[in-house]
């Protein structure tokens, strides 16, 4: 149920945007919009699943299970790290599922086998956002702020990442916003593998994601260490 539920949105994006905007892009000279869109939607799928996995901490906290781990003789860092890796792994599987769906809908990467090196970028996106979600959740008592996170952090991350449009032609102000969006580097990295096109350059993407991932894992660990029940 959960898997089917979580694949609904990516399919909708691929079908509605892919087929809906495809002709418009074609007229504008981009031969195949779906080629550009698919890596964006894959990154988006990972983004959602990873952040949710982090935010699940709030649920565990409210329903009491978190206390069981907080009193256990296991270091808080290990607990936080384990949660993040677990969530990230699920998110990568989500990304793979979206990739397969995209293939079915008509996405044609340079080679299907590019999925394997692309897993690296997918894992980096997933770790960053899972750690990000955990860090946020460590500071939250209940789910009240959840719609806020959704509308002011997650959605902007997705829509301002260049997942749905090329970064090249953007107005200067918007380009700056995109440059400060971590997901933009994930989308760009996936595009580099799947379609051979990259705006920032693959090396640049990976470095940014690794550095940000490390920073947020640290922040998450520090905040998690301070959780009280």
Partner 1 sequence: MPIIEVENLVKKFGDFTAVNDISFSVEPGEIFAFLGPNGAGKSTTIKMLTTILKPTSGSAKVAGYDISTRRDAVRHSFGIVFQDPSVDDELTCWENMDFHGILYGMPKELRHKRITDMLGLIELLDRKDDLVKTFSGGMRRRLEIARGLVHHPKILYLDEPTIGLDPQTRNHIWSYIKKINEQEGMTIFFTTHHMEEVERAAHKVAIIDHGAIVARGTPAELIAQTKTTTLEEAFLKLTGHGIREEEASGTDAARRQRQMWSGRR
What phi, psi does 137 have (nearest 5°)?
Answer: -65, -30
Closest distance between partner 1 and the C-beta of residue 150, in Å?
Answer: 14
Q: Which of 8, 31, 68, 180 binds partner 1 (CB under 8 A)?
A: 68
Angle between helices 202-225 and 115-138 (to 10 degrees): 30
Q: 58 or 122: whose CB is closer to partner 1?
A: 58
30 binds partner 1 (CB under 8 A): no
Q: 97 or 105: whose CB is closer to partner 1?
A: 97
Query: Mapping DSSP to helix (H, G, I), strand (E, B) and coil, where does residue 146 land?
Result: helix
Q: Which stretch binds partner 1 (CB under 8 A): 9-17, 42-50, 65-73, 201-209?
A: 65-73
Contact residues for 126 (Cβ-Cβ < 8 A; gap 6+):
46, 49, 50, 87, 88, 89, 91, 92, 95
What phi, psi does 187 have (nearest 5°)?
Answer: -60, -45
Q: Which of 71, 104, 172, 173 binds partner 1 (CB under 8 A)?
A: 71
Site for partner 1 in 108-127 (CB under 8 A): none
Q: Which of 32, 69, 89, 198 binds partner 1 (CB under 8 A)?
A: 69
Q: Identify the residue whose tokens are 């995209």.
A: 102
What is the distance between the alpha carbons of residues 190 and 15, in angstroms, rounded to a whole number?
A: 19
Q: Which stretch binds partner 1 (CB under 8 A): 55-63, 177-185, 192-200, 204-212?
A: 55-63
The answer to whether 146 and 73 are in contact (CB under 8 A) is: no
Q: Which stretch binds partner 1 (CB under 8 A): 14-22, 59-67, 106-114, 201-209?
A: 59-67
Residues that bind partner 1 (CB under 8 A): 2, 5, 59-60, 62-75, 141-143, 228-229
């Amino acid at each position: 149920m959960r898997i089917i539920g979580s694949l609904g949105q990516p399919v909708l994006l691929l079908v509605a945007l892919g087929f809906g905007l495809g002709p418009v892009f074609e007229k504008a000279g981009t031969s195949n919009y779906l080629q550009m869109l698919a890596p964006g939607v894959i990154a988006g799928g990972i983004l959602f699943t990873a952040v949710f996995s982090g935010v699940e901490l709030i649920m565990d906290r409210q329903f009491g299970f978190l206390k069981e781990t907080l009193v256990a003789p296991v270091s808080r860092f290990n607990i936080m790290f384990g949660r993040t890796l677990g969530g990230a792994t699920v998110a990568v599987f989500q990304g793979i599922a979206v990739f397969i769906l995209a293939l079915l809908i008509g996405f044609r990467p340079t080679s299907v086998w590019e999925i394997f090196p692309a897993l690296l970028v997918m894992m980096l996106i997933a770790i960053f956002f899972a750690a990000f979600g955990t860090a946020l959740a460590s500071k939250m008592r209940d789910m009240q702020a959840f719609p806020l996170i959704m509308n002011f952090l997650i959605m902007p991350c997705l829509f301002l990442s260049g997942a749905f449009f090329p970064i090249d032609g953007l107005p200067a102000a918007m380009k700056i916003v995109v440059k400060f969006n971590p997901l933009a580097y994930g989308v760009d990295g996936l595009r580099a593998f799947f379609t051979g096109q990259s705006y920032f350059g693959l090396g640049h993407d990976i470095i940014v994601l690794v550095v940000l991932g490390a920073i947020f894992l640290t922040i998450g660990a520090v905040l998690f260490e301070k959780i009280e029940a």
